[in-house]
Amino acid sequence: MSWPPTGFVYGIDVARFRDSNGDGIGDLAGVTDRLEHIRDLGAQWIWLLPIFPSLRRDNGYDVDDHEGIDPRFGDLDDFAALIDGCHRLGISVMLDLVVHHTSDRHRWFLDARRDRGSAHGHYYVWADEPIEIPGDTNVFPGEEDAVWSYDETAAGWYHHQFYAYQPDLNLANEDVAEEVVGIATTWLRRGVDGFRIDAAIPAVNPKPTDGTGVNEKDFYQKLHARLSEVRPDVVLMGEADVPPESMAPLLQSRGMDAVLDFTLNNSLFLALAREDPGPVYDALDRLDRTSRPACRVNFVRNVDELDLQQLHDDERTEVMRAFGPAPDMLLYGRGLRRGWAPMMGTPERFRMTLSLLAALPGVPLIMQGQEIGIGEDLSVEGRDACRPAMQWTAEAGVGFSTRADSPYILPAQREGPFAAARVNVLDQSGDERSHLALARALARTRQASGVDGEIARPVPIPGAGSVVALAGGDTVTLHNLSARPQVVTPLTDADVLLAEAWHGDVLGPYGFVWLRTRGEARFARGTS
């Protein structure tokens, strides 16, 4: 499947997706068993969160071996079966490539501890005493405030922007860069189609010691070129939570084929909080000047905190008040640890945002469970609050596992408004009014309408101040961000492709409509 896809990218946390052998932990065979669900959803790519050997202290990003598979998930035969199953259904596979750091159990770090002057010793960032420089802070304030930790065996301090058990790699070291090429090459030869580069910008930024910084444009351009020798159509997607001007060089140099778009994500939540499309329009204008929409991967929620760093302080506070009014809903002083559907408050608002995600210029990404409106559990600490196991059925093990006591099944999945008894794939599969049915319909409509993200543009609608209006070719999408009806009478004839709360010329509360027009997309002056 070439890039960009016309359908969804579907993110999968294997440990929480489906347990095929009854041990309470999701596995690769469980994903293979559910590929038809993914295909029917309209997903053309899947992104697998880390599947490598790990203690999973950081959801698998504490990697012990970049070329292995966590035995709890299966083995290489299980991985091959998953790749074959995906490719038979026309689904491409993207693997997480974690190159910012390793775990402290990785063989490289174990060697480095024994001899900081060895080849592996130079893979990491060491100092005899902690070096403090402005802006060098840990990404998990309150959980991990230091960026230097002392290692008794090494008799030195190592740098870590993440947790202390995740020592930073030095990508400026040519041997490390070759290791990255080798890791990715191994997985490409196993059938992987592309990679999501975790922490793509921090990975190449200079650390407090000399000889640790590398130009991100040059690094990823070389990496892409080397991997293209193995697979010419390899796709690299970067996690780059930076302004558009900073991520543009990665895209323009073909260092990356795509980036996760945190700019539009943050602006979308500001627009939702204000019930005003202005922040979305402003973000799109800024983005369009720096990168093609097909290079931008849009999302409403990933599986980390909702990081709002790209908003100004007052804007961030505004969003937090709207969607996280209680202190236990916030995290790290910069974001929210809530799930998408619970934050929206009503099913109608959630459905509108699901539709809007599909309509935005770029490639839509949804994480497992978001297609059914899965919930959250704020009794669980940290980011795991928004990482429930996939809810397949109303059974005690939520259809995820035959073990009802699986550690991945959260208490709120058994009782409450988003419990599996109320929200699950099996029930929604037979309900034409369900969230799952809408997600499937959106994928079909998006593909049939030809909305490919390249030509969608804002359309002004006088008097309908809460409506996000986007036009691409002969398709117009309207989304009402507010609980108030909006008058949006078209001047041109149009056929309705998909709609909710659409009454011909009035878009009801949190309503949306996909229209195929027979002329230029213009609207009469309405009143709200």
The arithmetic mean of pLDDT across residues 235-239, rounded, is: 97
In the predicted model, is pLDDT for residue 323 greater than 70? yes
How would DSSP label each residue in 130-151?
A: ----TT---SBTTTB--SEEEE
Give the H/E segment covering residue 467: strand 467-472
List, for residues 136-192, the tens digit of each pLDDT value. 999 999 899 899 999 999 999 999 999 999 999 999 999 999 999 999 999 999 999
107-159: CATH class: alpha beta
Which of 56-65, 239-248, 456-465 shows the lowest mean pLDDT across its residues?
456-465
Cβ neighbours around 23 below 10 Å, total: 13
Q: What is the dihedral of CA 82, 86, 89, 93, to 10 degrees?
A: 170
- Looking at domain 453-517, which of 3.30.465.10, 1.20.120.330, 2.60.40.1180, 2.40.30.200 is its CATH number? 2.60.40.1180
Q: Answer yes or no: is pLDDT of 523 > 60.
A: no
- pLDDT score of 527: 37
384/200 Cα distance (integer angstroms):
22
pLDDT category of residue 464 using cuts at 50, 70 and 90: confident
Pairing, β 506-517 against β 475-480: antiparallel
Structural domain spans, the chain: 107-159, 453-517
Say what the pLDDT of residue 252 is: 86
For residue 444, give the nearest of 293, 187, 137, 436 by alpha carbon. Answer: 436
CA distance 498 to 513: 6
Residue 127 pLDDT: 98
Q: Which amino acid, residue 509?
A: P
Segment 482-521, tens digit of pLDDT: 999 999 876 567 899 999 999 988 999 999 999 998 766 5
Terminal-residue alpha carbon distance, the chain: 44
The strand order across the sheet containing 126-127 reads: 126-127, 156-159, 148-151
Instruction: Read off the pTM.
Output: 0.96
Triad 142, 143, 148: Cα angle to 5°: 100
Q: What is the pLDDT of residue 522?
A: 58
- Asked whether the predicted pLDDT for residue 321 surpasses 70, the reply is yes
Q: Tell me: the pLDDT tens digits for 380-436?
A: 999 999 999 999 999 999 999 999 999 999 999 999 999 999 999 999 999 999 999
Distance of CA 403 to the CA centre of its chain: 28
* Model confidence band, residue 455 (pLDDT cutoffs 50, 70, 90): low
Give the pLDDT of residue 451. 63
pLDDT at 36 over 60: yes
In the chain, the percentage of residues whose pLDDT exceeds 90 is 88
Nearest alpha-carbon partner for 105 in 53, 157, 58: 53
